[in-house]
Chains A and B, each alone.
Chain A
Amino acid sequence: MPSTDATGALLVVGGGIGGIQTALDLADAGFFVYLVESGPAIGGKMAQLDKTFPTNDCAMCMLSPKLVEVGRHPNVQIITLASVESLSGHPGAFKVSLRQQPRYIDIQRCIACGRCIAACVYQEVKFPSEFNVGLGKRKPVYIPFPQAVPLAAVIDPQTCIFFKSGRCPQGCLKACERQAIDFTQQEKLLELDVGAIVLAPGFEPYDARLSGEYGFGRCANVLTGLQFERLLSASGPTMGKVLRPSDGQAPKRIAFIQCVGSRDLRHQSYCSAVCCMYATKEAIVAKEHDHQIEPTIFYMDLRAYGKNFENLIKRAQEEHGVRYIRSMISQITESSKSKNLLVRSYAGGANGRSPLQEEEFDLVVLAVGMRPHRQGQELARRLGIELDEHGFAKTLASNPVASTREGVFVTGAFTGPKDIPETVIQASAAAAAAGKLLASVRSTRTQTKRYPQESVPDSAPRVGVFVCHCGSNIAGVVDVKAVAEYAGSLPGVVHSENVLYTCSQDNLKHMKEVIQEKQLNRVVVASCTPRNLEALFQDTIREAGLNRFLFEMVNIREQCSWVHGDQPERATEKAKALVRMGIAKARELEPLTLQTVPVNPNALVIGGGLSGMTAALTLAESGFETYLCAEGELSAKARAHPKLRLYTDATLKKCAGFAGNFSTTLSTPQGEEHLAHGVVIVAREAQEFKPRAYLYGEDARVLTQGELEQRLRLGRVSARTIVMIQCVGRDEGRPYCSRICCGQALENALALLAEDPSRQIYVLFREMMTYGLSEKLYRRAREQGVVFVRYDEQNPPTVQRESEGLKATVRDVQYGQELLLEPDLVVLSTGVAPQREANEELGQKLKVPLDAHGFFVEAHIKLRPVDFASHGIYLCGSAHAPGSTEELVAKAQAAAGRAAILLSKTHLEAGGVVAIVEAEKCTACLTCLRECPYGAIFINSEGLAQIEAVKCQGCGICAADCPAKAIQLRQFEDRQELAMLEELLDVALQRVNA
């Protein structure tokens, strides 16, 4: 427990997606967060990815809004180029010292215009770019990547001539119009008081040079998966064209080699868990870029164990013609002339084929595995936490985010190989666990800003226009003076001026003064993209007493000066048109008020299994009154907690309301129970599937793995020869991989052998899904003599009952032979299946979606894995997706953590950019109700459509679809958009001229 001197601030180490998510969750839940990153920008490995499996979504599209959010969060301080030196104190009150390297650039002043880069003494890019994994080059002064946060240049003292020789004309210093460059910066030591620490140092790719047989580092056309990712990226070194490094030609035959550095006793014995999928993704994306490409994936076992992973493999094979070859690679050699690569593989000798194959390729991509980050090792040493034999942080299955030191939490790939959703889940889980520890000091270190009373514009529009030079970034191309003059001549404009840098602190102050002096009631800034600075300007006008929605931003940099530098006159004309459009919209803007809705701080958790119990206890221990609706008996050990109220054998009868304010009726054996609560967590479990095949239920010698596990616990297994059959029931309406059965089967097999090593165990399988660290089970089982026989799904094993006993047959794919086995016991791995009907019923009551198999569907597969799309409802449990104990616990903690964010607020703000219905026009045709992706629309007591502001996300789909034009999206209303359109097309101008 934290002591009474606890502090409500935390340290998060690592600025990848895991660290970012942890920081955001904690900061949103009422804590102050120091986010420490060793590099010059946050974003981590995800920023380098082109797409993400299994949906092939664009990685940067998902990540970039998160980067901006964390960069602007009032309760997150990002500290780049820094590392942890030491830790003292105790949980709740730690003292951390950090060492920060100089950037030689003042982040506050730098606007990332790139002039220093252009002025560098190196005229050409010369040094390998870290972001492009060496495929692209950079100068000693560079911006890490276009979407970097903080968005500022950095000088690398290792390559900068000034630091190396002192003899440099320092063109950068002169070129910088903002005096942001400072060569005198020194290393800094920082001391921070924090209550807890979350470590998210992530992974580093395996160094493929250590596996000499693959030729990496020697052969020009052998790349790693991460390098290939950069080749595929539209903003990568080849602008998204797949080209060979040796000659810049488009390769046709591309080989992907799996398990490079993974499942290899010389290097890393574990499976890296993500490579099968990322190689498949890369193969598909490459093919989409260039149809000529023929991808081939050389693999040992194809591990597609996650939700919808198998569909991606199927698509790769059937739609994209990706060839999969099960084999092991013995050598890759380069042809000295063509630089093509000869891949020699061993594929077994089935079907009269020669076991050794050779094939030529134009490009080879090594699916290198994940290894624990070097910095993680160093951190562990300095912080005194224990690591496992591979160098991953040691954790317990019952608390997968707690390190061996109290108050220090670990998350993401630091605890073992993980994909993005697993990392995000763990990040939220770590935030929940750390937040729980510091629950008593929540909201003690965060700041809420106070604003003056907003004046309501009652007079005609008085628009103020600020046209930015952005140094020479805009002014170098666009005649900004002419633009400002022109703006001043437009109707409604009472003030127009040029500003050198609109975003500078002194100008923001000036803007506020002008607003008051000239009584402006609308503000237009013509500068850069609203995606970065709109929120800053909105905040500024709010400080001056204006409603923040009375602001419009015009982008004359990215959309004008930076893309039309070759046509300055037309660029100026366009800038004028864009400003005219912005002013026209500004004239039509209205103040929007946010309504505040009080939040009920209680939680409802549905499901009495491991996940439900974990989620409920996490919330109760974080100080929130929690109702646990256990449907039937509690299957996990119930722990009493004063804040936890248990309803056994209860079912949810109905649930109404929205985030912060739900009201629910439970049916319990004692009668109906009415509950008011702010959040719902669906934590149902799926059950072990009961098959109809293999004499199950007919013969007592045929069991499921779950049943065997129980018998083993009771010490009641006497069988000597045991046959285990994997993937049972996958043709009986359970077509997906259940992810846990292979591991469970091997754990049982090892337990059987531990009892009696002379037992003979056969495992008949399709693919061994012992992903990640569970590969260890597979290795140990083989070492201890378990016989593995791979069968083909077209040709499944059979089990017959004969007078002398059971007979099992299987056709071994590897050797093409039929095997006859005589087991005393047949154990079926049947996977898990959700209770579809019960889930459908619950889904309808809560208005949350299910997939075709009856699993609940999350809001976003990558970045919102435990949220439903509907605000205030969260999910975990195996009825979301199957998982190991450790994975389910993390997911339940994560759901509780996400829920705690909402519960920790006293009020929610609703409104602003939301859709509203004009009642007199509504014909209650229900179109909007059908099309709303968020279930925000309902028919009110007057029989008309009404939109719940709290649920509305502001997409405007309903507004566009309404046949009666009865819906408007605030801030994007028809008359506002029409005003812009007319100005764009000069209609208004023509009217004036005519």
Chain B
Amino acid sequence: MNNGFESKIVAFCCHYCAFAAADLAGVLRLKYPPDLRIIRLPCTGKLDTLFLLKAFEKGADGVLVAGCLEGSCHFISGNLRAKKRVLAVKNLLERLGIEKERLEFFNLSSAQGERFAQIAREMTERIAKLGPLRSSGRCPYDRG
């Protein structure tokens, strides 16, 4: 499944929903590949575009951002701001020659442990198909 390489996937998760969903996935003992590592934020609204780019600059093979369901953000509108930023960065990635599929935004509620595990699986599979970031040809960071 991992296509011969262990990918590095950064998951920026909001405290109230996505992070809680990851906890529930654990409580339910659901299995997903260990490629993904979570950085907790109070709200995805805190996530700045620079950090998304930094993650790729520093070698992340994939980045996912997971916030509350739309309309249910603990901080009213943070997830909507984050979604916009993720869309903007996707476009930037394309212009940099990085597949925009390496970055994705997800909405999920804290009760969706199963969905969190599924997102982790999906994202890992997707990155496995794309291969390591540095092999993607046109990437300006590919100095090898």
Among B40, B46, B59, B85, chain A packs the most CB atoms within 10 A around the CB of B46
A235 interface hit (Cβ, 8 Å) = yes
Contact A235 B28 (CB under 8 A): yes
Among A581, A954, A955, chain B packs the most CB atoms within 10 A around the CB of A955
A97 interface hit (Cβ, 8 Å) = no
A73→B26 CA distance, assembly (Å) = 26
**A/B interface sample: 29 pairs, CB < 8 A:** A55-B71, A58-B109, A60-B111, A61-B16, A61-B109, A64-B110, A146-B27, A233-B111, A235-B28, A531-B20, A531-B23, A555-B38, A562-B26, A565-B29, A565-B31, A571-B34, A577-B37, A955-B42, A955-B43, A956-B78, A957-B45, A959-B48, A960-B46, A960-B48, A960-B85, A980-B39, A981-B10, A984-B39, A987-B58
Extra contacts besides A61-B17, A529-B23, A562-B26 (17): CB < 8 Å: A58-B112, A64-B20, A531-B15, A557-B26, A558-B23, A558-B27, A559-B38, A560-B34, A564-B33, A573-B34, A574-B34, A933-B78, A960-B47, A960-B48, A981-B10, A981-B58, A987-B58
CB distance from B40 to the nearest CB of A (A): 7
Point out the residue from B23, B28, B51 that lies within 8 Å of A977, measured CB to CB. B51
In chain A, residues 161-206, which have Cβ atoms closer than 8 Å to a Cβ of chain B? none
Contact A969 B42 (CB under 8 A): yes
In chain A, residues 532-566, which have Cβ atoms closer than 8 Å to a Cβ of chain B? 555, 557-560, 562-566
B114 interface hit (Cβ, 8 Å) = yes
Contact B43 A61 (CB under 8 A): no
A119→B125 CA distance, assembly (Å) = 35
In chain B, residues 75-104, which have Cβ atoms closer than 8 Å to a Cβ of chain A? 75-78, 81-82, 85
B41 interface hit (Cβ, 8 Å) = yes
Point out the residue from B22, B41, B77 that lies within 8 Å of A559, measured CB to CB. B22
- Residues on A with C-beta less than 8 A from B25 are 558, 563
A953 interface hit (Cβ, 8 Å) = yes
Contact B26 A960 (CB under 8 A): no
CB distance from A226 to the nearest CB of B (A): 16
A60→B32 CA distance, assembly (Å) = 23
A193→B32 CA distance, assembly (Å) = 51
CB distance from B34 to the nearest CB of A (A): 4
Point out the residue from A239, A566, A954, A965 that lies within 8 Å of B114, measured CB to CB. A239
Interface size on B, residues (CB 8 A): 60
B117 interface hit (Cβ, 8 Å) = yes
Point out the residue from A557, A931, A965 that lies within 8 Å of B81, measured CB to CB. A931
Contact B75 A933 (CB under 8 A): yes
Contact B72 A960 (CB under 8 A): no
A245 interface hit (Cβ, 8 Å) = no
Contact B27 A574 (CB under 8 A): no
Q: Mark A51-71, 1 if CB is under 8 A from B, else 0.
A: 000011111110011000000
B119 interface hit (Cβ, 8 Å) = no
B24 interface hit (Cβ, 8 Å) = yes
B134 interface hit (Cβ, 8 Å) = no
A658→B29 CA distance, assembly (Å) = 45
A933→B80 CA distance, assembly (Å) = 12
A-B residue pairs, 3 tightest by C-beta: A558-B26, A956-B46, A58-B109
Contact B113 A235 (CB under 8 A): yes
- Residues on A with C-beta less than 8 A from B15 are 531
A229→B93 CA distance, assembly (Å) = 41
- Residues on B with C-beta less than 8 A from A577 are 37
- Residues on A with C-beta less than 8 A from B71 are 55-57
A636 interface hit (Cβ, 8 Å) = no
Contact A563 B32 (CB under 8 A): yes
Please give the residue numbers on chain B whose beta carbons come within 8 Å of chain A beta carbons, in ascending order: 6, 8, 10, 15-17, 19-20, 22-34, 37-43, 45-51, 54-55, 58-60, 68-69, 71-72, 74-78, 81-82, 85, 109-115, 117
A982→B60 CA distance, assembly (Å) = 10
- Residues on B with C-beta less than 8 A from A562 are 26-27, 29
Smallest Cβ-Cβ distance to B41: which chain A residue: A972
- Residues on B with C-beta less than 8 A from A986 are 8, 59
- Residues on B with C-beta less than 8 A from A74 are none
A566→B77 CA distance, assembly (Å) = 38
Smallest Cβ-Cβ distance to A960: which chain B residue: B48
A147→B28 CA distance, assembly (Å) = 11
Q: Mark A870-888, 1 if CB is under 8 A from B, else 0.
A: 0000000000000000000
- Residues on B with C-beta less than 8 A from A965 are 50
CB distance from B84 to the nearest CB of A (A): 10
- Residues on A with C-beta less than 8 A from B58 are 981-982, 985, 987
Total contacts A-B at CB 8 Å: 176
Contact B37 A61 (CB under 8 A): no
A665→B27 CA distance, assembly (Å) = 54
Contact B111 A50 (CB under 8 A): yes
Contact A957 B23 (CB under 8 A): no
A961→B110 CA distance, assembly (Å) = 25
Smallest Cβ-Cβ distance to A143: which chain B residue: B27
A564→B33 CA distance, assembly (Å) = 7
Contact B78 A957 (CB under 8 A): yes
A147→B55 CA distance, assembly (Å) = 33
Smallest Cβ-Cβ distance to A962: which chain B residue: B48
Contact B42 A956 (CB under 8 A): yes
Contact A58 B72 (CB under 8 A): yes
Contact A955 B45 (CB under 8 A): yes
Point out the residue from B8, B31, B43 that lies within 8 Å of A985, measured CB to CB. B8
Contact A566 B26 (CB under 8 A): no
Contact B48 A564 (CB under 8 A): no
Point out the residue from B10, B16, B26, B117 that lies within 8 Å of A984, measured CB to CB. B10
Smallest Cβ-Cβ distance to A52: which chain B residue: B72
A978 interface hit (Cβ, 8 Å) = yes
A969→B15 CA distance, assembly (Å) = 15
Q: A240-B114, A566-B31, A956-B45 are in contact. Are A961 and B81 (CB under 8 A)?
A: yes
Contact B85 A58 (CB under 8 A): no
A581→B40 CA distance, assembly (Å) = 11
- Residues on B with C-beta less than 8 A from A957 are 43, 45-46, 75, 77-78, 81
- Residues on A with C-beta less than 8 A from B112 are 58, 234, 240
Contact A558 B54 (CB under 8 A): no
CB distance from A502 to the nearest CB of B (A): 17
A570 interface hit (Cβ, 8 Å) = yes
Contact B109 A146 (CB under 8 A): no
A152 interface hit (Cβ, 8 Å) = no
CB distance from B16 to the nearest CB of A (A): 7
Among B45, B59, B71, B111, chain A packs the most CB atoms within 10 A around the CB of B111
Contact A955 B111 (CB under 8 A): no
Contact A959 B46 (CB under 8 A): yes
A984→B74 CA distance, assembly (Å) = 27
- Residues on B with C-beta less than 8 A from A913 are 42
Contact B68 A234 (CB under 8 A): no
- Residues on A with C-beta less than 8 A from B23 are 529, 531, 555, 558-559
Contact A953 B75 (CB under 8 A): yes
Among A64, A953, A956, A978, chain B packs the most CB atoms within 10 A around the CB of A956
Contact A530 B72 (CB under 8 A): no
- Residues on B with C-beta less than 8 A from A529 are 19, 23, 26
CB distance from A847 to the nearest CB of B (A): 14
Among B22, B49, B109, chain A packs the most CB atoms within 10 A around the CB of B109
A578 interface hit (Cβ, 8 Å) = yes
CB distance from A16 to the nearest CB of B (A): 18
Contact A563 B78 (CB under 8 A): no
In chain A, residues 564-591, which have Cβ atoms closer than 8 Å to a Cβ of chain B? 564-567, 570-571, 573-574, 577-578, 581
A869 interface hit (Cβ, 8 Å) = yes
Among A65, A581, A985, A986, chain B packs the most CB atoms within 10 A around the CB of A985
In chain A, residues 41-97, which have Cβ atoms closer than 8 Å to a Cβ of chain B? 50, 55-61, 64-65
In chain A, residues 244-295, which have Cβ atoms closer than 8 Å to a Cβ of chain B? none
Contact A55 B55 (CB under 8 A): no
Contact B59 A987 (CB under 8 A): yes
Q: Mark A970-984, 1 if CB is under 8 A from B, else 0.
A: 001010011011101
Q: Mark A353-383, 1 if CB is under 8 A from B, else 0.
A: 0000000000000000000000000000000
- Residues on A with C-beta less than 8 A from B109 are 58, 60-61, 234
Q: A566-B31, A955-B75 are in contact. Are A985 and B114 (CB under 8 A)?
A: no
